[in-house]
């Protein structure tokens, strides 16, 4: 009997110790969950009053209290989006998507991610996000509307880009034509310069030839004059000889 009594006492002590340990283990969890909800409610109140910067701080405190809180991460993205910090908001929506397994919640994250991309002018990325959101929740009319809007916007951008490319090509072609005309004109000017130089050279050669011819004529004239003088001298010598008397 004593043994049985002692056994019951020991069992009771073990039970009480187990309960105390369980309470001690639950206290941090309960304490952590309570501030998270508190900051989430506070952030929601601030968000409702358009105090988006303050709500961001509250949501971040909630996330600090529970790093696995997908809702807190989602709300941080919302607060950032309202502050027009679209790239940073997109990072939080992406994190929320990766944390969520519930199709509707994942679809909401993808929808907001698409909005962030659209505001950052990342049209193609926004289209893919809207499509992914609609695959999980085909009844999301806002996602359908935004998808159609983004597709029209992308089409306009592509048409504008094509128009711009065409104008740039026309300008480039015009510039190329002008450059070609300049090259042709330069080549023509070079040919004219060469022709002028050649003509000048020919004229110089012709001028030299005339001078040489004149010198030759002068030389011949001088030679003829010399010959005539020699003939005259010879005649005079003969005449002098004929007039000489022999004694």
pLDDT tens figures, 94-142: 999 999 999 999 999 999 999 999 999 999 999 999 999 999 999 999 9
Q: What single-letter DSSP state applies at residue 245?
A: P
pTM of the entire predicted model? 0.60
pLDDT tens figures, 16-52: 444 444 444 444 444 445 788 999 999 999 999 999 9
DSSP string, 178-227: HHHHHHHHHHHHHHHHHHHHHHHHHHHHHHHHHHHHHHHHHHHHHHHHHH
For the cut 50, the answer to whether the pLDDT of residue 3 exceeds it is no
Whole-angstrom Cα distance, residue 191 to residue 127? 62
The domains found in the chain, sorted by start residue, are: 12-83 (1.25.40), 97-151 (1.25.40.10)
- Largest alpha-carbon pair distance within the chain? 213
Is 223 or 80 the better-scoring residue by pLDDT?
Answer: 80
pLDDT tens figures, 194-212: 888 888 887 776 666 677 7
pLDDT tens figures, 8-17: 333 344 344 4
For the chain, how are helix, strand and coil distributed in percent, rounded to 5? Answer: 90, 0, 10
pLDDT of amino acid 209: 67
């Amino acid at each position: 009997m004593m043994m049985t009594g002692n056994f019951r006492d020991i069992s009771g002590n073990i039970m009480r110790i187990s309960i105390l340990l369980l309470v001690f283990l639950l206290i941090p969890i309960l304490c952590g969950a309570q501030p998270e909800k508190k900051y989430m409610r506070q952030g929601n109140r601030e968000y409702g009053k358009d105090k988006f910067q303050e709500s961001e701080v509250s949501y971040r405190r909630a996330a600090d209290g529970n790093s696995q809180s997908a809702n807190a991460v989602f709300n941080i993205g919302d607060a950032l989006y309202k502050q027009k910090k679209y790239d940073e908001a997109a990072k939080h929506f992406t994190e929320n998507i990766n944390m969520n397994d519930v199709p509707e919640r994942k679809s909401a994250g993808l929808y907001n991610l698409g909005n962030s991309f659209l505001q950052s002018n990342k049209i193609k990325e926004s289209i893919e996000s809207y499509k992914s959101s609609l695959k999980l929740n085909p009844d999301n009319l806002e996602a359908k509307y935004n998808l159609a809007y983004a597709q029209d916007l992308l089409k306009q951008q592509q048409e504008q880009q094509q128009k711009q490319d065409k104008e740039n090509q026309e300008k480039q072609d015009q510039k190329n034509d002008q450059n070609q005309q300049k090259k042709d004109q330069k080549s023509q000017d070079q040919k004219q310069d060469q022709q002028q130089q050649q003509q000048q050279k020919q004229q110089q050669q012709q001028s030299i030839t005339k001078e040489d011819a004149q010198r030759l004529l002068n030389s011949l004239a001088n030679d003829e004059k010399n010959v005539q003088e020699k003939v005259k001298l010879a005649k005079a010598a003969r005449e002098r000889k004929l007039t000489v008397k022999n004694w």
